[in-house]
Amino acid sequence: MTARLVLSHDELRAAKPDGARSAVVMTMGALHEGHAQLIREARAAVGAQGCVMVTDFVNPTQFGAGEDFDRYPRTLEADVVVCTDAGADLVYAPGVGEVYGTAAPATAITVDPGPLGDLLEGAARPGHFRGMLTVVAKLMHLTAPDVALFGEKDYQQLVLITEMVKQLNFPTIVLPVETVREPDGLAMSSRNRFLTSDERALATEVPRALAVTIEVARHSGHEAAIEAGRAVLAASPGIDVDYLTITGTGLGPVEAGEARALIAVRVGATRLIDNMACIVGAA
């Protein structure tokens, strides 16, 4: 059965079955296999009798000045096909007015991400996480899910959403889903389509640098690991590194044991992020 496209909260509320356990996958459209895996995991989480919703909304408040809001791909018709094939019941594609109403930006109430929102992506993209958390909070209220699934590729986003749900007492369980990768290791992303063929080949150095980083971290500590990963990237002209770092699993200071290696680079005009779990040994 084709996933039903709904454009308003009233339509969504009428279409959502009463009493059914529900899950939401929040997206900005331009769906790919990574999103499809999230939808399949959502179906598994709520079962055959549950309701799987996918939000399809390009959120203007999480794009900074000079970023790619206007050229971000809008592929709603194709997205509905992806949702149908992956097992979604409803595709909720609201307009900006429905999500944000008529409040002027200067007076709008938003969600403050706190200190974690100033790190890494927050430092590179001021205001990004305020916009992201605000729209996630709004969409959680509008969809009222029992479970919400988010990919680990946007790891800082996942950590912040998990903390928001916990600290603000949302009645929703956040489930992380492992990053889906291309056969050559590149993390799937809607922005990959902006890469030229040469840039696409070059981008495979990103997961390779992460793999080297986590291998060295296990035996030689995090500082040597970061140096080794940066050496991989330095050997590939055309990759502009924003950061390559290792943090604790909650983005705090790194200690021996479980940690996270995170990277952000620009290849041509396209910004790519990725991360991998790692174990940090003694230096």
15: pLDDT confidence band, cut at 50, 70 and 90? very high
- The three-state secondary structure class of 261 is strand
CA proximity to 261, closest of 282, 239, 279: 279
pLDDT at 71: 75
Please give the Cα distance from 254 to 196 (Å, whole number).
36
Strand ranges (DSSP E) for 46-128? Answer: 51-56, 90-92
Average pLDDT, stretch 43-65?
A: 92
Superfamily of domain covering 190-280: Pantoate-beta-alanine ligase, C-terminal domain (3.30.1300.10)
Average pLDDT, stretch 55-66?
A: 84
Domain 4-177 shares a fold with domain 190-280: no
| pTM greater than 0.75 (yes/no) | yes
**Residue ranges of the alpha helices (H) in the chain?**
9-15, 33-46, 76-86, 96-100, 121-124, 128-143, 155-167, 197-202, 205-220, 222-234
Percent of the chain predicted with pLDDT > 90: 89
Given 32, 35, 128, 222, the catalytic residue: 35
pLDDT at 108: 85
162: pLDDT confidence band, cut at 50, 70 and 90? very high
Q: Residues 219-257: pLDDT tens digits?
A: 999 999 999 999 999 999 999 999 999 999 999 999 899
Q: Is residue 200 predicted with pLDDT exceeding 90?
A: yes
Burial label, 115 (beta-carbon count in 10 A; 0-12, 13-18, 19+) = exposed
CA proximity to 16, closest of 45, 55, 58, 50: 50
Q: CB of 204 within 8 A of CB of 186?
A: yes
Superfamily of domain covering 4-177: HUPs (3.40.50.620)
Tokens of 159: 């950590």
pLDDT at 69: 76
Q: What is the DSSP letter of 125?
A: S
Q: Residues 68-117: pLDDT tens digits?
A: 777 788 899 999 999 999 999 999 999 999 999 887 767 889 999 999 99
Please give the Cα distance from 216 to 227 (Å, whole number).
9
Q: What is the DSSP letter of 170?
A: -
Contacts 24+ apart (CB under 8 A), 135-141: 135/57, 135/59, 135/61, 135/62, 135/99, 136/26, 136/161, 136/164, 137/111, 137/164, 137/168, 137/170, 138/99, 138/100, 139/24, 139/26, 139/55, 139/57, 139/99, 140/24, 140/165, 140/170, 140/172
Residue 222 designated active-site: no
64: pLDDT confidence band, cut at 50, 70 and 90? confident
Beta partners for 273?
264
| Distance, first Cα to last Cα, the chain | 55
Q: Which is it for strands 239-248 and 257-267: parallel, antiparallel or unpaired?
A: antiparallel
Type of residue found at 56: D
CA proximity to 190, closest of 218, 151, 161, 162: 151
Backbone CA torsion sign across 73, 124, 97, 149:
positive
CA proximity to 3, closest of 46, 41, 39: 39
pLDDT at 107: 81
Domain ranges of the chain: 4-177, 190-280
